[in-house]
Amino acid sequence: MNTITSYIENNKERFVNELIELLKIPSISADSAFKNDVLKTAEIIKVSLENAGCDAVEICKTDGYPIVYGEKIIDKNLPTVLVYGHYDVQPPDPLELWNSAPFEPIIEKTELHPEGAIFARGACDDKGQMYMHVKALEFMTSTHQLPCNVKFMIEGEEEVGSANLATFVKNNKEKLQNDVILISDTGMIAKDVPSITTGLRGLSYVEVEVTGPNRDLHSGLYGGAVANPINILSKMIASLHDENNHITIPGFYNKVENLSEEERAEMAKAPFNLDAYKKALDISDVYGEKGYTTNERNSIRPTLDVNGIWGGYTGEGAKTVIASKAYAKISMRLVPHQDWEEITQLFKTHFESIAPDAVKVKVTPHHGGQGYVTPIDSIGYKAASKAYKQTFGKTPIPQRSGGSIPIVSLFEKELKSKTILMGFGLDSDAIHSPNEHFGVWNYLKGIETIPYFYKYFTELKAK
């Protein structure tokens, strides 16, 4: 029988093994030492798309890592689904916190994944989730059940800001023309609580440098008499939040979308267990902006976080020194209507203004992007909802995520189509962390659900 469930039953070992092969290549886009591995991964994706039935697969050169593009056009009058994903991964460090090597995938059972989970960098974000789409396409083409046209666009620079993808999209609007964009690069609430991501936060990422004296100084001879850049930087960073954990940058909240009480009440219905949350992270309490719940703090509210801070002596033992420079990397997660370039400018102006005369401050923007919200009455959302209903037996809950995929708002602006975020990962899958993993059940459930999206989208579109 050519149903998706029997197809998966007959091919699941191969599906898992193919993903494991893909996960063995360290396609770390942030580190140029892995350039050849990133390029090799693009080649493998190309071959996998060809094997899955794409007609024209190209490796499109950019100023950075290439974009793998493939399509299967069966009838120009039928709708077109554009699948986006990324084949690059985050650096795996700190390596010593991994229980197995990040690029030597292993399958292990966990409490949440009794069927086993694949442990490797990129297992969930996003090689595993991206590859579900390749396997779903293989099923649809090989059993003659592809109901519409499909285009694939898989990039290699998502984890470093997608700068070259933006140019590619702007220059290839016709080629990329579609009726809906489908992405699996987010999560769901739980294995028995399917959800569709309806919002992503925007991002502004900056690096700051504080310079005091022109050289590192003896902390006894000079201590107390000149500004210590590390002390100053710490004070400046601390002042960016007030006692209610509101961000103090003037104008920061001006455009923040305020949800109505009804919308907040609706959000609060999503299942959430604070004790389990605290237990999973081994914390005795949560922490954040006054007046908001944990789920609001990490989705509909903007944030400012230090991602790294360094300077002075950090080696073994003690060295008495006042460093000349101190640094920090700071990210701000933004919500709809906040403009990331404007926020970056507000940060820069404010941060420079709070520095005492005794130091010099330099703010360097890295990358950023706009937030995104998608309506739940679009054909795409309805098709996704029906697909989950089919395979999970439950209607999925719409949920805004705290993460960012900055390119999504650009897709809407340039290609004029909505993005549907069908994520199958769990928060506990440890993306970007040591021991990243993806449940085999989740992987196969994704492959099972995706073809129904195509079916229902094509049906609803024809009405």
Given the rule CB under 6 A, which residues bind ligand BES?
125-126, 158-159, 161, 185-187, 200, 203, 401, 403-406
Give the residue carrying structure tokens 């700190």.
Answer: 94
In whole angstroms, give the CA distance from residue 170 to residue 4. Answer: 36
Nearer to ligand BES, 200 or 232 (CB): 200
CB of 86 to ligand BES, least distance (A): 6
Q: Which is nearer to ligand BES, 184 or 458 (CB)?
A: 184
- How many chain residues interact with Mn ion (CB under 5 A)? 3
Q: In this structure, is the dihedral angle defined by the CA atoms of residues 293, 295, 300 and 304, taken in order, positive or negative?
A: positive
Q: For Mn ion, what does the binding mask look like between residues 113 and 132, x meaning CB under 5 A? A: ------------xx------
Tell me how far, at minimum, the Cβ of 370 lies from Mn ion, in Å: 17
Instruction: Give whichever of 126 and 436 is closer to ligand BES, judged by the CB atom.
Output: 126
Least CB distance to Mn ion at residue 148 (A): 25
H or E stretch including 326?
A: strand 325-334
Q: Residue 353 CB: number of other CB atoms within 10 A?
A: 9
80 binds, among Mn ion, ligand BES, none (CB under 5 to 8 A by kind): none
Q: Bridge partners of 283?
A: none
Closer residue to ligand BES (CB): 182 or 355: 182
Q: Which does 406 bind (CB under 5 to 8 A by kind): Mn ion, ligand BES, none?
A: ligand BES
Task: State the DSSP code for 20.
Answer: H
d(CA 126, CA 285): 31
71's contact among ligand BES, Mn ion, none, with CB below 5 to 8 A by partner kind, is none
The CA-to-CA distance between both ends of the chain, in Å, stands at: 29
Q: Which is nearer to ligand BES, 338 or 401 (CB)?
A: 401
Scanning 34-42, 103-111, 184-192, 300-308 for contacts with Mn ion by CB under 5 A, the matching segment is 184-192
CB of 202 to ligand BES, least distance (A): 10
What is the closest distance, in whole angstroms, from the C-beta atom of residue 441 to ligand BES in the complex?
18
Residue 185 binds Mn ion (CB under 5 A): yes
CB of 23 to ligand BES, least distance (A): 15
Q: How far is the CB of 325 from ligand BES (least distance, A)?
A: 25
Say which entry of Mn ion, ligand BES, none residue 387 contacts (CB below 5 to 8 A, set by partner kind). none
CA 3 – CA 11 distance, rounded (Å): 12
Q: Compare residues 147 and 380 and give the one whose CB is closer to ligand BES.
A: 380
HSE-up of residue 379 (Cα within 13 Å, Cβ side): 17
CA distances from 237 to 4, 273, 302 (A): 53, 32, 16
Nearer to ligand BES, 229 or 371 (CB): 371
Closest by alpha carbon to 287, among 331, 250, 243?
243
Among 134, 157, 143, smallest CA distance to 34 is for 157
Q: At 252, is the secondary structure helix, strand, or coil?
A: coil
- Min dist CB 306 to Mn ion, Å, is 19
Name the residue nearer to Mn ion (CB basis): 168 or 327. 168
| Integer angstrom CA distances of residue 423 from 79, 108, 315, 322 | 22, 22, 41, 48
Q: Please tell me the distance from the alpha carbon of residue 166 to that of residue 407, in angstroms, as a whole number.
A: 7
Strands 106-108 and 195-200: unpaired
Nearer Cβ to ligand BES, position 186 or 338? 186
The residue assigned the tokens 């077109």 is 80
Among ligand BES, Mn ion, none, what does residue 105 contact (CB within 5–8 Å per kind)? Answer: none
Backbone dihedral angles phi then psi of residue 261, each to the nearest 5 degrees: -60, -35
State the residue number with the nearest CB to ligand BES: 403
Beta-strand relationship, 195-200 and 180-183 = unpaired
Q: Answer with the entry of Mn ion, ligand BES, none that 429 interacts with (C-beta below 5 to 8 A by kind).
A: none
Q: Helix, strand, or coil here: 367? A: strand
Q: Which is nearer to Mn ion, 18 or 155 (CB)?
A: 155
Minimal distance, residue 126 CB to Mn ion, in Å? 4
Which SS3 state, helix, strand or coil, does residue 351 take? helix
Q: Provide, rounded to whole angstroms, the least separation between the CB of residue 429 and Mn ion.
A: 11
Q: Which amino acid is at 57?
A: V
Query: Residues in the site for Mn ion, rule: CB under 5 A?
Result: 125-126, 185
